Structure 1
Amino acid sequence: MIPFDPAAQALRVALARRHDDPAVEAARERWAAYDAHAEHLTGRFAGLYAVRSFAYVQPVHLQRGVPARLRKPYATRVSYTDWGPEDAPLLICGGGVVNSAMRFAFLAADLRGSHRVICMDWLGRGRSGWLADEREYTRATYVEQLKQLVAHLGEAARRPFTLLGSSMGGTVAIDYAARHPARVGRLVLNDVGPFIPRARRRRRAETLARFYVFPTPDDLTRRVGASQKHDGPVSDDIRRFVAYHQTRWSDDNAGRVYRHDVRALHAYRDEAKTSLSQWDAWARIRCPVLVLHGMQSDALSQRTLDRMRRGHALTVAHIPDTGHTPVLADRHQTACIADWLRGEGAAAEFSVPHAAVRGDGDTNDSIASFSENLRS
């Protein structure tokens, strides 16, 4: 059941009764200005990527908890953005529990000269379709989704590719890399490891697993500011860009709502009652690993990093003034990833200082190396 939202209801009534109501007209004008600005920000990436999709088939064995008489394979759409040359080395990106694929737009734009970058919307998020039952939103399903994406990409994924996962996307990447070691040549974990404490997961899940309506741009800005306060020093334009692609307009609610199935967040809340532990999967990973660590993170602790190093030659990039998780829009962060993907440098540990804020329309087509960026 969708919770009652008095503000949204009041605006709906106003729209129905008084089309010339000054407050309603003012709200419309604010949203029109917001949309125009967000579309201008999105325009910096015009022509750099394509939005594609494939038909994901949910297998019966992942429909546990569904009554037996209702279990049968069914298809739903999975959406992804595709950046860079088709024959370039492949990088597949998966976001966090409420992220959309466009959160990786700055990283993908920076790397598209050297890589084909695929950024996928998880089932129940972004432009991807929804599953039939709440109990089907599990990490096992997301691993299957990744597996089917790789099959869909065909020849492009024949060679070992790189997986990059932010938060939940990193937990999926760990499981996939452990099960398919011949497929994954490199692994990038954006502020996530094989262990996240229950208290942190539960606190985050309780905040997310609600239905939010934003009647005005100011409401959305306040919410974005609260939810992204740990993402690090990020410009207001980038925050607006991320929020725009994370939400959509809803006529029924007379405002913007998150672009996800709230049932997926309810499933995550149920899963978050226990700590995340993937140490068995981590022990089976043999490929090089880059960990991006927000130095104020409450999801990836120093203790977890220390344990991850046992038996693994990690490269750890510490990002100051940042929690969970870095947006990966900063030039130094994307250049650091680009250097590591080129195989520059052995296992190491270092800090990544913040770069200057990107200018309007700046996509940084020809990315400099991390060290060159530091000298500039």
Structure 2
Amino acid sequence: MSLANGLWTDWSAAAERLDRRFAGLYQLRSFDYRQPLRLQQGVPRRLQRPYTTPVAYADWGPRDAPILICCGGVANTAMRFSFLAADLSRHPAGAWRVIAPDWLGRGQSGWLADECEYARDTYVEQLRQLIAHLGGGPVALLGSSMGGSVGLALAASNPSLVSRLILNDVGPHIPRARRLKRANTLARHYVFRSPADIMRRVGASHKNDGPVPEDIRLFLAWHQTRWSRENAGRVYRLDPRALQAYRTDAQQAVDQWQAWRRLDCPLLVLHGMQSDALLAPTLRRMQKTQDMTLVHIPQTGHTPVLFDRNQTGLLGHWLASGRREAAELSLPLAWPRQPW
């Protein structure tokens, strides 16, 4: 029987059974993020003040292992990286301590006081404070979509904090038209009224992420949403103002070429071959200005979920090697994981 059929209670029970597969492999932690005055420029002066709000993160693997921080896209939550984190925390080439934070205004992290504060500079500061909380770095950094843009900015401005950078289907340029299309979809408040509704919409989204089985779509959808009594359905775990701010920012293309040229660490770029965000002209320009390892992933758009064992295996070996080199390859999809 399809996981989309039946009642919410049945759907949630199935998701909880899937979630228990990761029991004992990670801990949910948090730290107090401090929002500085310099990131409140759009707030009326009389209302500006430094304040704190919690940032939640999932902590996987040995505490004494090297650290990899995984940062998701504009509407992702930390648990999107569960498969990658579980594999890397016990990878044969060397275990990693994988830290997956929820962005401010998403998941279980706190919200910011004003919509205008949801900006790339704030997310860069969130990452900087997270690294300080974890011991000061340097750390390896993986960013999907918006997380990659933030990671690129941090690595360029604070090179001592980032030892390796992985960009998951994102580069220094993202077209304005693509950003607007995504922003206009996300900025609408949506209530999922039934399991069929959520699996249909989330399933359509994940088709762009590559071949994703129904059980994994269920796991991701469950963590990305929460039950809303006032709406009598499930809603995304986020501050709607964060996505309104993203829609405002999406009026312009992403342009990080200056930051890209300043990078001075090993670089791995994952490219979904059907991506509408990381395009061939961008990749060619990236290769001209940086020595990077470029990996093409078939049947996949923007962005790979990174549950495929070929992908997690390659990431583990690349992280262990620490090499900076110009290389380009295609990575076939692995056989599907055993259904949960």
Q: How does 1:234-249 map to 2 (within 5 A)?
A: 234-249=212-227
Render the CA deviation track for 1:251-287: whole Å, top value 9, x for unaligned.
1111100001111000000000011000111111010
- Distance in 2, Cα, partners of 1:225 & 1:359: 19
- Distance in 2, Cα, partners of 1:179 & 1:239: 36
Equivalent residue, structure 2, for 1:84: 61
Is 1:180 aligned to residue 180 of structure 2?
A: no
Amino acid in structure 2 at the alignment position of 1:124: G
Is 1:358 aligned to residue 334 of structure 2?
A: no
- Distance in 1, Cα, partners of 2:289 & 2:224: 38
Render the CA deviation track for 1:187-231: whole Å, top value 9, x for unaligned.
000000000010100111000001110111111111102222201
Equivalent residue, structure 1, for 2:326: 347
C-alpha contact 2:5 2:195 (8 A) present in aligned 1: no
Amino acid in structure 2 at the alignment position of 1:359: Q
Q: How does 1:117-128 map to 2 (within 5 A)?
A: 117-128=98-109
Q: Aligned-pair distance for 1:310?
A: 1.9
- Higher Cα radius of gyration: 1
Is 1:307 aligned to residue 285 of structure 2?
A: yes
Q: How does 1:301-340 map to 2 (within 5 A)?
A: 301-340=279-318
C-alpha contact 2:270 2:294 (8 A) present in aligned 1: yes
Amino acid in structure 2 at the alignment position of 1:137: Y
- Residues 199 and 28 of structure 1, relative CA distance in 2, 3 Å threshold: closer
Q: Aligned-pair distance for 1:311?
A: 3.0
Equivalent residue, structure 2, for 1:109: 86
Structure 1: which 4+ aligned runs deviate by more than 6 Å? none
- Distance in 1, Cα, partners of 2:306 & 2:148: 14
SS of residue paired to 2:245? helix
Q: Aligned-pair distance for 1:359?
A: 1.3
Q: Aligned-pair distance for 1:29?
A: 6.3
- Distance in 2, Cα, partners of 1:276 & 1:197: 7
Q: Quick one: percent identity of the two aligned structures?
A: 62
Equivalent residue, structure 2, for 1:199: 177
Q: Aligned-pair distance for 1:28?
A: 12
Equivalent residue, structure 1, for 2:11: 34
- Distance in 1, Cα, partners of 2:339 & 2:210: 20
Equivalent residue, structure 2, for 1:14: none
Equivalent residue, structure 1, for 2:194: 216
- Residues 32 and 184 of structure 1, relative CA distance in 2, 3 Å threshold: same
- Distance in 2, Cα, partners of 1:92 & 1:304: 25
C-alpha contact 2:206 2:212 (8 A) present in aligned 1: no
Match for 1:143 among 124, 137, 140?
Answer: 124
Unaligned residue ranges in structure 1 (runs of 5+): 1-26, 362-376
- Distance in 2, Cα, partners of 1:190 & 1:328: 9
Render the CA deviation track for 1:112-157: whole Å, top value 9, x for unaligned.
0210000010001111011111010000000000011011112xx4
Render the CA deviation track for 1:43-67: whole Å, top value 9, x for unaligned.
1100000000001111111011111
- Distance in 1, Cα, partners of 2:310 & 2:217: 18
SS of residue paired to 1:164? strand
C-alpha contact 2:144 2:303 (8 A) present in aligned 1: yes
C-alpha contact 2:183 2:243 (8 A) present in aligned 1: yes
- Distance in 2, Cα, partners of 1:197 & 1:358: 34
- Distance in 2, Cα, partners of 1:132 & 1:252: 23
Q: Aligned-pair distance for 1:343?
A: 1.0
When the two structures are aligned, how many residues end up with a matched partner?
A: 332
Is 1:69 aligned to residue 79 of structure 2?
A: no
Unaligned residue ranges in structure 2 (runs of 5+): none
SS of residue paired to 1:189? strand
Equivalent residue, structure 2, for 1:60: 37
SS of residue paired to 1:192? coil
SS of residue paired to 2:164? strand
- Distance in 1, Cα, partners of 2:6 & 2:142: 39
Render the CA deviation track for 1:144-185: whole Å, top value 9, x for unaligned.
00011011112xx44x22000000000000000001111211
TM-score by length of 2: 0.95
Q: CA RMSD in A?
A: 1.4
- Distance in 2, Cα, partners of 1:54 & 1:219: 35
Match for 1:48 among 1, 25, 28?
Answer: 25
- Distance in 2, Cα, partners of 1:347 & 1:32: 51
